[in-house]
Amino acid sequence: MVYARFFRVLGFALRLLAHGVWWEFLLRRLRPAWVRETAPARYRRWAAAFGDLAVQLGGALIKLGQFLSARVDLLPDFVTEELARLQDEVPAEPFERIRPLLEAELGKPPEAAFRAFEAVAIAGASLGQVHRAWLPDGTPVMVKVQRPGIERLLAADLAALQVVIRVLSLYPPLRRRVDLDRLLGEFSRTLWMELDYLAEARNAEQFARNFAGDPGVRIPRPFWSHTRRRVLVLEDVTAIKITDLEAIEAAGISRSEVARRLYQVYLKQVFEDGFFHADPHPGNLFVAPLEGEGSEGSGRPFRLHFVDFGMVGWISPEARRWLREAAIGLGTRDAGRIVRAMDALGFLLPEADRTLLLRAVERLLDRIWGLSMRALREWSLMEVETLFLEFRELLLRFPFQIPQDFLLLGRTLGLLAGLVTRLDPEFNVFEEAEPFARRLLEEEPWRWVEQILEAAWGILRTPWISSGSWSARCAGSCSGG
């Protein structure tokens, strides 16, 4: 079964690659107009075929499809609509198949561990499924149970993707600019990390601490008495799915306000906490209406509910410092700050022409500043071509790379952009970034003081600073000779 799965995934991926080479590299040169006209039907057909395969096989393919379906900011509607079913249509395993795993993890039948347990799953996911239950004291909970044998299925999927990566690496421009092995390694690491439900419960508690002072965000509480490595029990916080736009509007909630609030919550996670929910697809975010009335034009008050904390990311203090620098640059239209941050974070290759890049970023900010998500998505081909011709030398050399530490963050921000665009196509990321950047700018002097104090404390704590060792080290380096 595992070998058959491996060859099905590999075969589909290789056929898709061959399709891309034939249409986009060969036929496009011969009949460009016809290739453009037939593209929508062709892409829709391949998206539907991938969706069918993902639903049949599950595992890593579901994760990949969910990611692509959320990229409404980049992919055309006819592709994302075909893949959107992977948010909801993942079939659950029959209860008879998961009962042995549930009993083995809990040490008793579910009927003995819970006051009530619904055998029919309310949701299927890529790596597990969710059942509704009630604890012995009557507390309603959600029970996430891992799919039996999921480790073997993931191993087969990742092995097939490894072959695809090797084929893609044969294309020199791609091989030079993207470390595909690292990309797959990061994807693999996050998938295996999601299989540890004990770690997921700890992640949920960390998020709850980070947002303890924010009444607009709710994180479900894990129940450790019933949580195991392959069984996770959380309080029930289900509400309106964040992409159920009709239900959000029917509840009197402003979609644009939901988009703005979600954006702000992620600004805090990335730039302040350095710990972020890395899987913000529509199945993991809910909107809960609250009692009362909001301010004028903001609609009914609401709260954002996050679930599924298996995939999370961490940002080091040093990386966070330079990300804040980039955010200040974006919010204040300071191209120099943006380029310096890109350089410090490792996005620029050594041969990059910093002066030319600075001019390109300045021109890009002039062109896109103030545009809504819809306008950015519909940026005309003529504008793109004009910018390309102006900075042709820079773009042909493409002196950029994606550091491994930012692969997961990039994926997360891509999903976030898709969600925000769906909620409010007129959302203006620049208007929302500006006040945040101003606040960071105001805090900047104090941050430098903090960093100096931290560095000084680090020196004082260094073990070799004692009278004897200091004298020994100074003998060779402090004498002036």
Reduced to 3 states, what is the DSSP secondary structure of residue 186? Answer: helix
Reduced to 3 states, what is the DSSP secondary structure of residue 241? Answer: strand
CB contact burial 305-331 (16+ within 10 A = b; e otherwise): bbbbbbbbbebeeebbbbbbbbbbbbb
Q: Which amino acid is at 433?
A: A
CB contact burial 156-168 (16+ within 10 A = b; e otherwise): bbbebbeebbeee
The CA distance from 140 to 146, in Å, is 20
CA atoms within 13 Å, Cβ hemisphere of 249: 7
The CA distance from 237 to 304, in Å, is 10
CA atoms within 13 Å, Cβ hemisphere of 56: 10
- Contact between 31 and 21 under an 8 Å Cβ cutoff? The reply is no
Nearby residues of 91 by Cβ (< 8 Å), 6 or more positions away: 55, 58, 124
The CA distance from 473 to 97, in Å, is 66
Q: Which amino acid is at 82?
A: E
279, 308, 334, 424: which is the annotated catalytic residue?
Answer: 279
- Contact between 287 and 417 under an 8 Å Cβ cutoff? The reply is no
The CA distance from 455 to 449, in Å, is 10
Read off φ and ψ for residue 312, nearest 5 degrees.
Answer: -130, 165
Annotated catalytic, 279? yes
- Give the single-character DSSP code of 280: -
Bridge partners, 313 (sequence order): 276
The CA distance from 170 to 344, in Å, is 30
Q: Which two tokens stand for residue 124?
A: 């299927």
- Contact between 5 and 61 under an 8 Å Cβ cutoff? The reply is no
252: region left, alpha or beta (phi > 0 left; psi from -120 to 50 alpha): left
Sheet holding 302-306, edge to edge: 217-218, 302-306, 285-289, 240-241
Bridge partners, 234 (sequence order): 142, 222
Look-up of token digits 């939901």: 258
The CA distance from 154 to 190, in Å, is 12
Q: Is 30 exposed, middle or buried (0-12, 13-18, 19+ CB in 10 A)?
A: exposed
Nearest Cα residue to 256 out of 402, 422, 107, 145: 422
Active-site residue set = 279
